């Protein structure tokens, strides 16, 4: 009978491990989607900065064009001034030239500033691009790692399912009733394990509540009592060591 309990406990360990692996696997699609979003954001950042630099360059070119046509206007005005005899006309033209010269002086400063700004932005861009590409590469690697992890989990899940089927077959042979109770309890309770032992001769090993009455199984063919508080199956056999193979180390948290 001890051996049968051992098998049931091994099954429980397999089931708990399976549950953990399935949970880990269920996170992978979200993880990959989040990585895709990050890759997209990095790409967007590069494109946005590229466009912004392009726009700034176009604006600077326009300013340069205005600046040159102003300069030409000043040169033409000065030439015309030399031939102007009428003092009223002369005054007006001279004022126009002076205004234009003030404007050109301001623009010249602004133009220089913009050109320097564009140059430094352009050289910073290559650093930004390099950093973003590095980040994208890192994210791609992580995506690949998640895919490999998924394959690895699939394999482990398949292997566990095979072990579970074999173990259930063994238990079913002589202790079908135990198996049914185990399955029902597993369905009913939220937190595994669903088979526990009596703790300190009087407490439920699952929920720690004191057990009422005499702790003995009513049926020698079914050496369990059901906890009134948490509904777990409490084995009244002395606590057994579970086969080392079954007490899985788990696959670690993938997040
Ligand atoms: Zn309990």
CATH number at residue 48: 1.10.287.1490
Residue 207 Cα to ligand 1 middle (Å): 4
In a domain, 143, yes or no: yes
In a domain, 63, yes or no: yes
Quote the pLDDT of residue 160.
Answer: 98
pLDDT band at 122; cut points 50, 70, 90 = very high
Lowest mean pLDDT among 34-48, 153-167, 185-199: 185-199
Residue 184 Cα to ligand 1 middle (Å): 15
Residue 47 Cα to ligand 1 middle (Å): 60
In a domain, 69, yes or no: yes
pLDDT band at 218; cut points 50, 70, 90 = low
* pLDDT at residue 188 is higher than 50: yes
* pLDDT at residue 253 is higher than 60: no
pLDDT band at 255; cut points 50, 70, 90 = very low
* pLDDT at residue 251 is higher than 90: no
Task: State the alpha helices, DSSP H only, in the chain.
Answer: 2-81, 87-188
Residue 226 Cα to ligand 1 middle (Å): 8
CB under 8 A, 24+ apart: contacts of 127-132: 128/45, 128/46, 128/49, 129/46, 132/42, 132/43, 132/45, 132/46
Backbone angles phi, psi at 204, to 5 degrees: -70, 130
User: Residues with Cβ < 8 Å from 14, sequence gap 6 or more?
Assistant: 160, 163, 164, 167, 246, 248
* pLDDT at residue 156 is higher than 50: yes
Quote the pLDDT of residue 239.
Answer: 63
Between CA 255 and CA 248 the distance in angstroms is 19
Between CA 66 and CA 70 the distance in angstroms is 6
* pLDDT at residue 242 is higher than 50: no
CA angle 98/99/102 to nearest 5° reads: 85
Quote the pLDDT of residue 23.
Answer: 95
In a domain, 37, yes or no: yes
Residue 203 Cα to ligand 1 middle (Å): 8
Q: Quick check: helix, strand or coil at residue 70?
A: helix
CA angle 8/9/15 to nearest 5° reads: 90
Domain residues for 112?
Answer: 2-175
- How many independent structural domains does the chain possess? 1
Which residues, listed in sequence order, are joined to residue 224 by a DSSP beta bridge? Answer: 235
In a domain, 47, yes or no: yes
pLDDT band at 217; cut points 50, 70, 90 = low
Per the prediction, the chain carries an average pLDDT of: 90
Quote the pLDDT of residue 175.
Answer: 95
Closest to 203 (Cα-Cα) out of 195, 211, 213? 211
Quote the pLDDT of residue 246.
Answer: 40
pLDDT band at 201; cut points 50, 70, 90 = confident
Quote the pLDDT of residue 2.
Answer: 81
In a domain, 101, yes or no: yes
Lowest mean pLDDT among 180-184, 237-241, 246-250: 246-250
Between CA 190 and CA 80 the distance in angstroms is 96
In a domain, 123, yes or no: yes
Residue 211 Cα to ligand 1 middle (Å): 8
User: Residues with Cβ < 8 Å from 49, sequence gap 6 or more?
Assistant: 125, 128
Quote the pLDDT of residue 10.
Answer: 96
Residue 189 Cα to ligand 1 middle (Å): 10
Lowest mean pLDDT among 60-64, 164-168, 235-239, 244-248: 244-248
Tell me what the mean pLDDT of segment 141-169 comes to: 98
Tell me what the mean pLDDT of segment 133-145 comes to: 98
Between CA 8 and CA 240 the distance in angstroms is 11
* pLDDT at residue 247 is higher than 50: no
In a domain, 49, yes or no: yes
């Amino acid at each position: 009978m001890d051996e049968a309990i051992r098998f049931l406990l091994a099954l429980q360990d397999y089931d708990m491990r399976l549950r953990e692996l399935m949970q880990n696997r269920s996170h992978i699609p979200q993880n990959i989607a989040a990585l895709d979003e990050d890759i997209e954001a990095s790409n967007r950042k590069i494109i946005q900065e590229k466009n912004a630099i392009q726009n700034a360059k176009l604006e600077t070119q326009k300013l340069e064009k205005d600046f040159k046509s102003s300069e030409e206007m000043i040169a033409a005005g000065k030439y015309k001034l030399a031939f102007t005899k009428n003092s009223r006309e002369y005054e007006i033209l001279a004022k126009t030239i002076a205004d234009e010269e003030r404007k050109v002086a301001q623009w010249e400063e602004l133009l220089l500033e913009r050109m320097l700004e564009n140059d430094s932005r352009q050289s910073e861009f290559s650093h930004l691009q390099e950093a973003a590409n590095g980040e994208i590469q890192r994210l791609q690697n992580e995506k690949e790692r998640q895919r490999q992890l998924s394959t690895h989990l699939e394999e482990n899940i398949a292997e566990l399912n095979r072990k579970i089927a074999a173990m259930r077959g063994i238990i079913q042979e002589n202790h079908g009733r135990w198996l049914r109770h185990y399955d029902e309890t597993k369905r009913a309770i939220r937190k595994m394990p669903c088979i526990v032992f009596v703790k300190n001769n009087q407490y439920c090993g699952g929920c720690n509540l004191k057990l009422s009455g005499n702790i003995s199984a009513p049926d020698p063919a079914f050496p369990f009592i059901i906890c009134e508080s948490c509904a777990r199956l409490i084995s009244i056999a002395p606590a057994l060591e579970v086969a080392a193979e079954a007490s899985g180390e788990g696959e670690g948290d993938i997040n």
